[in-house]
Structure 1
Amino acid sequence: MDVLASLLEGPRARGAFVVCSLLDPPWSLRIQDESPLTVLSIVRGTAWIIPDADPKRPESAAPRRLEAGDIAISRGPRPYTVADAPETTPQILIHPGQVTTTLDGELLCEALTLGVRQWGTDPDGATMMVTGTYESAGAVSQRLLRALPPFVVLRRGEFDGRVLDLLADEATRDEPAQGAVLDRLLDLVLITALRAWFAGNEAPAWYHAYSDPLVGKALRLLQHNPAHGWTVAGLAEAVGVSRAALARRFTDLVGEPPMAFLTEWRLELAADLLQGSEATIEAIARQVGYGSAFALSAAFKRHFGVSPRDHRHGATPAELSSAG
């Protein structure tokens, strides 16, 4: 399992919301759906993304123009606007659950329907864009999401656009298992875009660490075998270096010591298993390397701020809610 494969386990599309928008200017959509990750591609025409100002990153509020073939990835939950021009006032609000209303709260979902997964103001609109929205992202994916800027924009030619064309072609079809097809295509578009973005931009230290012959092997051993009783000495022996050499090199490249990385990985896996399976807390504890449900519960609450039981029943861990 490589770095992107492991970290993308969390935001894998499961019943993702995919829609084709057809719009004639002037138009402006205020996106406040709180989704953790959204993929937006322009099939025809142009659009502008206007981020909300982030006090920590004033430069992030600069509008970005998108042309046909371009793709943007939004890391939520901060609201933003998509419009035909930066100065166009928002006319439509997109709420959580993809509920669409006017500024006054009037529902527009039915009024703007143009066909299967199509909506907008004009079936022949000058702008056509396909949006894929991930409604949730697992705990494992938080390391990936924290590494991304609020918006990733790639131009056609900077990534393999064939999967994007496939997603656009399939978005408006109504075939058996179409939802599953769209989920898989959305995942392919996301992976293709992120792979291209990481290759051409300053990636976080841990991303490059996977290519190191020693630290990369250590990372894969920890991720593949979280239930193993790892120690720094045992991990060093497995990769063929001294304990001190591995600890120093791992910390330099990953940004944290091996056992700290392993603890976070185990707890993130447990968080996803709690919401993605019906296994008992005891079984999950042993699967991720804790000796008992009690040991997992204590570590889980320290890390996330809620108990495993509360997390399973929908409570939002404090750390996950602060990722945006």
Structure 2
Amino acid sequence: MIDPLAEVVTLLQPRASYSKIVSGTGAWRVRRSEAGLPFYCVILEGACRLEVDGREPMTLEQDDFVLIPAAYGFSTSSCNPLAPADMRSAPVVLPNSEFRLGIEQDPPDVRFLVGQCVFDSPDAALLLSLLPQLVHVRGERRLSTLVQLLIDESRAVRPARDIVLARLLDVVLIEAFRSTTGTAASTGLLRGLADERLAIAIRHMHEHPTRSWTVAQLAKEAALSRSAFFERFSRAVGVAPMEYLLTWRMAMAKRLLLGNEATIAEIAERVGYGSASAFSVAFTRHVGLPPTRYAREPEQPEIV
């Protein structure tokens, strides 16, 4: 069975950028602007406060994992004592390569791993729009262990290091996303997959992208009326069913074009178009470049 979540994460092409261990003592606050880069944090001990622009502040505790797939403005700070809103702390590098915030000499109140990754997919922004804007997983030591393995590998010089890092990062992201389950998840693919009826339709779209799907056919697979399916899908996933299918087909087409894996006619067939000309029209409208030109002059991956 095709796993839509695994397919999306694989197509994102995640790549580790940097990671570090940070500790804090007393009152401290750091403000970051990540220009849309993916940010993650794991609390190793103690607690701290996370404030993401546009969201309510949250307290992170030991073994908590937070992933912001496209971070822009946010701050982390001490929660006991509570740091003033206008406070800005400069980290100091300790002899053990740990970054210290607040009082340098005292034992730490909190220690956490922070890291960043980059998505190399040219369709990263579109794919990320299908995922939650923020993932918060509480008390999953399995996830903390995976992140620790990722950081250990990034600091070592071993054979096949880049391949191991890529695979570990895939696993970390999938584990984080699938730990955010239920219809309480924010709008996106995870919420759609948490709905048993919608999950059937989503899996069918991924398993059979070449089929000439209609909303009525997908609604039948989900055992819902056409109108109920359309409304339920759009509300849960955040895009209409046919828009989701188009996004997925075009992401697949881009990967095939960049890999020089097939002719335009073969790619058209693989992504559900009856002819090369029909595919070329749809691709040009969606991407802004004809497929042949895109294969020669691909757009630069978006930094999201």
Query: Is the TM-score greater than 0.5?
Result: yes
- The partner residue of 1:152 within 135, 152, 169 is 135
Task: Report 1:1-324 matches (<5 A).
Answer: 1-13=2-14, 15-25=15-25, 28-52=29-53, 54=54, 60=55, 62-84=56-78, 85=83, 87=85, 88-89=87-88, 91=90, 112=93, 120-121=99-100, 126=108, 127-136=110-119, 138=121, 139=123, 142=126, 145-149=129-133, 151-156=134-139, 160-169=140-149, 171-173=151-153, 174=156, 175-199=158-182, 201-204=184-187, 207=190, 210=193, 216-230=199-213, 239=221, 247-255=226-234, 259-275=242-258, 277-279=259-261, 282=264, 283-308=266-291, 309-310=293-294, 313-315=297-299
In structure 2, distance between residues paired with 1:123 and 1:135: 35
* Segment of structure 1 superposing worse, 259-268 or 39-48: 259-268
In structure 1, distance between residues paired with 2:118 and 2:17: 7
What amino acid maps onto 1:128 in structure 2?
R
Residue by residue, what CA displacement relative to the aligned partner does 1:13-61 show, whole Å, maximum 9, x if unpaired? 3x31242223344654443333442221111333332323x4xxxxx1x
| SS across alignment from 1:148 | coil
In structure 2, distance between residues paired with 1:190 and 1:123: 35
CA-CA distance at 1:128 after TM superposition: 2.9
Seen in structure 2, the aligned counterparts of structure 1 residues 23 and 217 have a Cα distance that, compared at 3 Å, is closer
CA-CA distance at 1:266 after TM superposition: 1.0
CA-CA distance at 1:135 after TM superposition: 0.4
| SS across alignment from 2:119 | coil
In structure 2, distance between residues paired with 1:167 and 1:20: 11
Report how many residues are paired: 283
User: TM-score, normalization: structure 2?
Assistant: 0.70
Q: CA RMSD in A?
A: 4.1
In structure 1, distance between residues paired with 2:106 and 2:296: 45
| SS across alignment from 2:11 | coil
Q: Is the contact made by 2:8 and 2:127 (CA closer than 8 Å) also made in structure 1?
A: yes
- Unaligned runs of at least 5 residues, structure 1: 55-59, 93-110
| SS across alignment from 1:201 | coil
Question: Any runs of at least 4 consecutive aligned residues in structure 1 with deviations exceeding 6 A, and if so which?
Answer: 122-125, 211-214, 232-237
Seen in structure 2, the aligned counterparts of structure 1 residues 183 and 82 have a Cα distance that, compared at 3 Å, is farther
Seen in structure 2, the aligned counterparts of structure 1 residues 220 and 24 have a Cα distance that, compared at 3 Å, is closer
Residue by residue, what CA displacement relative to the aligned partner does 1:301-324 show, whole Å, maximum 9, x if unpaired? 32244554458745369xx78xx7
| SS across alignment from 1:89 | coil
Seen in structure 2, the aligned counterparts of structure 1 residues 140 and 74 have a Cα distance that, compared at 3 Å, is closer
Seen in structure 2, the aligned counterparts of structure 1 residues 134 and 293 have a Cα distance that, compared at 3 Å, is farther
* Segment of structure 1 superposing worse, 265-274 or 136-145: 136-145
CA-CA distance at 1:80 after TM superposition: 2.1
Q: Is the contact made by 2:249 and 2:272 (CA closer than 8 Å) also made in structure 1?
A: yes
In structure 2, distance between residues paired with 1:265 and 1:227: 11
